[in-house]
């Protein structure tokens, strides 16, 4: 049986306008989507902040969305709000799953291969997330909902934004941040210096009285934090979050 990610789920968009519908909504260029070449993308708020991130897979005239399982109902609801009279169907596909084989993950060459398969399969998310966290690649709940701008989250470096496509939701602010260089924050790796569990998301990271940013997601002693890089470059002393000594590491791919 294939190794599958049981914490991911699949949505199918079927119909003659499936690709054009998504093209006007998501950050990446759906017109270039082809079999065997998945694309990483996000659906943003009108203010350019991440609501959902996902991978898109071509399936004939249909598009399969590989998303966080717990976010699937909310993503279907959001897509349905935009559907209006578009000629397509939006369906939860419980007969399909995300497997760790097939074409390369478009975000990073060191991530496992990825495609859609039929159930059943063997759960493999523990090893997958170990690899993902070692690379410092955020996804899903690491972003929160409508909290982080696409470029602050690294979606440009993770090949999730096409700046040469037409309009999409949140495009104006995303393009302005890109061309003006106003994206001073980045989602980078935070770890407790002593190996203890990090404090809860929302906890400030400080150097003395200077706040650099906040923790956004934790996995035991490791997680992600949204950090002002200009402030990080100015400090040299120890860092702490709720009296826990921490380190901050900017990922190689950034």
pLDDT at residue 100, as a whole number: 97
* Calpha distance 59→93 (Å, rounded): 13
- On the 0-12 / 13-18 / 19+ scale of CB atoms within 10 A, 157 is middle
| Nearest Cα to Cα of residue 93 among 1, 14, 4 | 14
- Choosing among 3.30.70.260, 3.30.1360.120, 3.30.70.60, 3.40.50.300, the CATH entry for 3-126+153-178 is 3.30.1360.120
pTM exceeding 0.85: yes
CB within 8 Å of 224: residues ≥ 6 apart: 136, 138, 142, 187, 188, 189, 190, 215, 216, 217
* Neighbour count for residue 48 (Cβ, 10 Å): 22
- Determine the length of the chain: 254
* Calpha distance 208→225 (Å, rounded): 17
Q: What top-level class would CATH report for the domain 184-249? A: mainly beta
pLDDT averaged over consecutive 10-residue blocks of the chain (254 residues)? Answer: 96 95 97 95 97 96 96 97 92 97 97 95 96 97 94 96 94 90 86 96 94 96 95 88 95 94
pLDDT at residue 212, as a whole number: 95
The ranges assigned to domains in the chain are: 3-126+153-178, 184-249
Alpha helices in 84-214 (DSSP H): 125-135, 171-180
pLDDT at residue 183, as a whole number: 65
pLDDT at residue 133, as a whole number: 97
Angle at 193 between CA 190 and CA 195, to 5 degrees: 95
């Amino acid at each position: 049986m294939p190794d599958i990610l049981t914490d991911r789920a699949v949505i199918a968009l079927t119909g003659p306008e499936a690709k054009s519908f998504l093209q006007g909504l998501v950050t990446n260029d759906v017109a270039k989507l082809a079999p065997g070449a998945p694309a990483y993308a996000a659906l943003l708020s009108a203010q350019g902040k991440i609501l959902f991130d996902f991978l898109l897979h071509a399936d004939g005239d249909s598009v399969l969305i590989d998303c966080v399982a717990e976010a699937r109902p909310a993503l279907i609801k959001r897509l349905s709000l935009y559907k209006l009279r578009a000629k397509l169907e939006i369906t939860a596909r419980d007969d399909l799953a995300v497997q760790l084989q097939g074409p390369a993950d478009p975000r990073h060459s060191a991530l496992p291969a990825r495609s859609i398969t039929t159930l059943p399969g063997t759960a493999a998310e523990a090893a997958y997330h170990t690899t993902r966290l070692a690379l410092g690649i955020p996804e899903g709940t690491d972003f929160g909902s409508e909290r982080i701008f696409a470029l602050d989250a690294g979606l440009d470096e993770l090949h999730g934004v096409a700046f040469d496509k037409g309009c999409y939701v949140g495009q104006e602010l995303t393009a302005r941040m890109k061309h003006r260089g106003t994206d001073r924050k980045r989602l980078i790796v935070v770890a407790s210096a002593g190996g203890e569990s990090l404090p809860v998301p929302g906890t400030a990271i400080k150097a003395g009285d200077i706040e650099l940013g906040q923790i956004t997601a934790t996995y035991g002693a490791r997680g992600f934090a949204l950090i002002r890089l200009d402030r990080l470059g100015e400090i040299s002393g120890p860092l702490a979050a709720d009296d826990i000594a921490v380190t901050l590491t900017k990922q190689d791919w950034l």
